[in-house]
């Protein structure tokens, strides 16, 4: 077996260990519960508000939409935060010092973030189906939709997070990106159908993967009549696959070169300079 494959297998084991630690750490478990509570608040408020012409409540529309938002948010922002943090604390520098260490490290992060994203979706879904009516898988077709939308969504968002994490100066910068991300969520049809928004906002929302993830999960989890709330009165499966696929291809083409550039720039001197600046901020 080649050294790269050995490093990748070690990365998978590392990712599984990190996931196990996350699922048994009180602080991380609290984060999953808190995220679920935050998602359930608007769901609860809209559970009895009918969505005109769709035969479902606003809460039922929001549940799969928010699951898609969670997948996109975790794939992008968690990956970016982890890379920025581990660059600052020297973890990436130590991985770079080991043969094929960066390969194993990045594979581990992919496993860890993917597992975190699925867990962050599973708990709100388990709670939400009891809170609102009209949300449930619609047989084998729904399962098949989930089986391609979720992996393709991760493939579309994880590389974006890797690029962001490689380019930002520090983990604090990733936090500042929350503001534009929240603006993106607002125009992606998560809490209100995109078809009811002005046409120019519809165009903006459909550029980014957040909308398409929400649409794909709504297609899988909502009754057929709910399509009346969508743009063009269609679930647009082909367009969803094309949009997410385009983001995945663009990210996979861009992320490796950005990550290699970041790894080349990592050194003991660079880490010491970041530490010095951090101490200055504290002082």
What is d(CA 229, CA 246) in angstroms, rounded to the nearest whole number?
Answer: 25
Structure tokens that stand for 135 in this block: 């949300």
Residue 103 tokens read as: 């390969």
Q: Is the pLDDT of residue 238 over 60?
A: yes
Q: How many helices (H) and strands (E) does the chain have?
A: 13, 2
Q: Which domain holds residue 106?
A: 3-282
The pTM for the full model equals 0.88
Tokens read off for 120? 């962050």
- Res. 198: pLDDT tops 60: yes
- The SS3 assignment for 245 reads helix
Give the C-alpha separation, 53 to 80, whole Å.
Answer: 40
Count: domains in the chain: 1
pLDDT of 202 above 60: yes
Smallest CA-to-CA distance from 67 within 125, 112, 109, 26 is with: 125
pLDDT in tens, 39-83: 998 888 888 888 887 788 888 899 999 999 999 989 888 888 888
Contact 150, 77 (CB under 8 A): no
Summary mean pLDDT of the chain: 84
Q: Compute the distance between CA of residue 121 and CA of residue 69 in angstroms, rounded to an integer.
A: 9
How many CB atoms sit inside 10 A of residue 196's CB? 13
At residue 277 the predicted structure's pLDDT band, cuts being 50, 70 and 90, is low
Which of the pair, 272 or 66, is modelled with greater confidence?
Answer: 66
Q: Which residues are CB-neighbours of 243 under 8 A, at least 6 positions away?
A: 206, 209, 212
pLDDT, position 148? 93
Q: What is the pLDDT of residues 185-195, one digit of tens each?
A: 888 988 889 98
Confidence of residue 235 (pLDDT cuts 50, 70, 90): very high
Please tell me the number of Cα atoms within 13 Å of 56 on its side-chain side.
27
Q: Which residue has the higher pLDDT, 179 or 279?
A: 179
């Amino acid at each position: 077996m080649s050294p790269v494959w050995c490093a990748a297998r070690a990365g998978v084991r590392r990712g599984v260990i990190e996931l196990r630690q996350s699922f048994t750490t009180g602080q991380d478990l609290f984060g999953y519960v808190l995220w679920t509570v935050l998602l359930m608040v608007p769901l609860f408020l809209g559970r009895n508000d009918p969505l005109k012409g769709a035969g479902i409540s606003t809460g039922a529309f929001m549940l799969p939409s928010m699951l898609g938002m969670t997948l996109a948010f975790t794939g992008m922002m968690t990956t970016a935060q982890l890379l920025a943090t581990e660059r600052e604390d020297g973890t990436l520098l130590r991985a770079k010092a080991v043969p094929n260490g960066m390969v194993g490290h990045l594979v581990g992060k992919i496993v860890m973030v993917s597992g975190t994203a699925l867990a962050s979706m599973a708990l709100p879904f388990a709670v939400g189906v009891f809170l609102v009516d009209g949300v449930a898988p619609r047989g084998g077709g729904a399962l098949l939709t989930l089986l391609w939308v979720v992996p393709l969504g991760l493939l579309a968002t994880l590389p974006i997070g890797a690029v962001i994490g490689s380019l930002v100066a520090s983990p604090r910068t990733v936090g500042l990106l929350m503001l534009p991300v929240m603006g993106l969520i607002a125009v992606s049809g998560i809490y209100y159908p995109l078809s009811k928004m002005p046409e120019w906002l519809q165009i903006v929302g459909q550029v980014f993967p957040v909308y398409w993830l929400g649409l794909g999960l709504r297609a899988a989890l909502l009754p057929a009549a709910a399509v009346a709330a969508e743009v063009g009165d269609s679930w647009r499966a082909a367009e969803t696959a094309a949009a997410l696929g385009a983001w995945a291809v663009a990210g996979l083409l861009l992320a490796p070169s950005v990550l290699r550039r970041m790894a080349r720039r990592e050194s003991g001197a660079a880490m010491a300079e970041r530490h010095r600046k951090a101490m200055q901020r504290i002082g």
